[in-house]
Structure 1
Amino acid sequence: MPLIKRNPFGHILFLKKIIIRACGVVSHARYRKFNSLRIEGSDVIRALPEKNVLFISNHQTYFADVAAMIHVFNAALCGRDDSIKNIGYIWNPKLNVYYVAAGETMKSGLLPKIFAYAGSVSIDRTWRNSGKNVNRQVKNSDISNIGKAINDGWVITFPQGTTTPFKPIRRGTAHIIKTYKPVVVPIVIDGFRRSFDKKGLRIKKRNVLQSIVIKEPLEIDYENEEVADIITKIEFAIEQHPSFLKVLSPKDAEEYLNEEAVLNKQREFWSS
């Protein structure tokens, strides 16, 4: 038995625990003092298996969304009911929690690199790089790393791949679901875009009601459901289907459909 325990990515678990504790203590007031966090679904978290779980969520900031989820997960596992009151839960955090993030984001400075050690599964985006649109194939190593994380524990992913609301779901998420067959748990968040800057590091507004709603796992026929059907399920589950918009202007509708068509063309890789 090794003296220094590591996860499948070679990260030292004790060091990861220290980082999560420190980040948890620093960030806690952002959800309890400067702003408030409404939580639903702690009972869903406690009923999940130890591993092979994929959380799918809409996305509003680079880091604040994930930090809040880690608070909520650990509080729920310590018996808190829809609350992160009393931060003692962060002392012994669940260490096999990961989140999928763009590699360029996680390498953009010292702080993101520290966050990456706490659980990032960094991937190269196939559609955007350094602020420019690109068109490149998915790296097999990225797919296998996400699978490795799912097999080891819980993985958070943002299937739209952007903090812009109502953008199309990336087809790769559906293929990962069909390939690795995880328990798929939808999460819907709100309020983070109003309270934080885009990175989720700076508080731009106080006294904002943030929310995290954890839904029951999706029912998915991994063998027989088509990718398109799973994508539609995801859109409705995380409340990012266009029907959730009260009014979709002709311009927005055209933009959405055009982007969906481009996405499908770019994702032909997955059908090969």
Structure 2
Amino acid sequence: MPLFKRNPFGHILFIKRWIIRIFGIVSHGRYRRFNKLEIEGSEIIRDLPEENVLFIANHQTYFADVAAMLHVFNASLKGRIDSIKNIGYIWDPKLNIYYIAASETMKAGLLPKIFAYVGSISIQRTWRSQGKDVNRQVKMSDISNIKKALEDGWVITFPQGTTTPFKPIRRGTAHIIKTYKPVVVPVVIDGFRRSFDKKGLLIKKRNVLQSMVIKKPMEIDYENESIEDIVKRIEFEIEQHPSFLKVITPEEYLERENDLNRKRRFWKHHQKKPQ
């Protein structure tokens, strides 16, 4: 590969590879040492096509969610099954993974600008800007960039457009699915909000059991399913439909806590084993 080969967005792949390597090494302990990331379904990653894949996920922090996915996706492609141990997988990362993020987030400081080089498709939000509600038109250049990224590889998107749980799904994601007909892979994460600050840069709490569930690609009738149908299905797939809000009894709560503690002991026991 030529040293200064660029991707469709003009990013030099040599530089991108080294940024991923460096930040991959720095962030690895956040999911293996300070906290434990439990993964389910990562074998699905290996069977996906090289391009036109759209990952849809719930959102808990600005950056830690994407970083965890990059770890899991690359580890799976290197033969790990539901594991990110032995960080050697990061030395030769998949370079055509992109993620959709608000442009104002990616311009807020030097670190976000570096993260943007990893694969950000920065878009202008049509409903929110600098903490205020707005109502503006979709920029056609944003749609064009999403199309460009899908044609080149994989795209991660957070269809709620916010880290606040159980917010409505933005119709734009359904329009992307109807228009470009990608393979749509749902991802459900948990524990990131408890373990990191909102930006996902600082560790807020240790020994939190994080989880990532990668589901089978959705079967979508691109021609006949309506935007509303797809929006509703996304809500259920990423477990953000209001029906997932449930008041539990004290007995159910205690059982959940006991189950979590059992899992924590399990992970602590395996942590002591040589990797």
With normalisation by structure 1, the TM-score equals 0.90
- Equivalent position amino acid for 2:119 in 1: G
Q: Is the 8 A contact 2:195 2:208 kept in 1?
A: yes
1:43-95 CA-partner distances (Å, limit 9, x unpaired): 10011011110000000000000000000000000000000000000000000
The match for 1:47 is 47
1:133-172 matches, cutoff 5 A: 133-172=133-172
2-structure distance, mates of 1:55, 1:144: 18
Q: Is the 8 A contact 2:3 2:14 kept in 1?
A: no
Q: CA offset at residue 2 of structure 1?
A: 6.3
The match for 1:265 is none
1:113 to 2:113 alignment: yes
The match for 1:37 is 37
**Which structure 2 segments of 5+ residues have no match?**
249-275
The match for 2:265 is none
Q: Is the 8 A contact 2:106 2:116 kept in 1?
A: yes
Q: Percent identity?
A: 81
CA RMSD for the aligned pairs?
1.2
1:188 to 2:188 alignment: yes
Number of residues of Structure 1 aligned to a counterpart in Structure 2: 248
1:67-86 matches, cutoff 5 A: 67-86=67-86
Q: CA offset at residue 200 of structure 1?
A: 0.2
- Equivalent position amino acid for 1:180 in 2: Y
2-structure distance, mates of 1:13, 1:180: 25
The match for 1:60 is 60
The match for 1:241 is 241
Query: The residue matched to 2:188 in structure 1 has which SS?
Result: strand
In the TM superposition, structure 1's runs of 4+ consecutive aligned residues that sit over 3 Å from their partners are none
**Which structure 1 segments of 5+ residues have no match?**
249-272
The match for 1:87 is 87
The match for 2:125 is 125
1:214-237 CA-partner distances (Å, limit 9, x unpaired): 000001011111000000110000
Query: The residue matched to 1:82 in structure 2 has which SS?
Result: coil
2-structure distance, mates of 1:222, 1:4: 38
1-structure distance, mates of 2:247, 2:140: 39
The match for 2:177 is 177
The match for 1:216 is 216
The alpha-carbon distance between structure 1 residues 2 and 37, as it changes in their structure 2 partners (threshold 3 A), is: closer
1:90-119 CA-partner distances (Å, limit 9, x unpaired): 000000000000000000000000000000
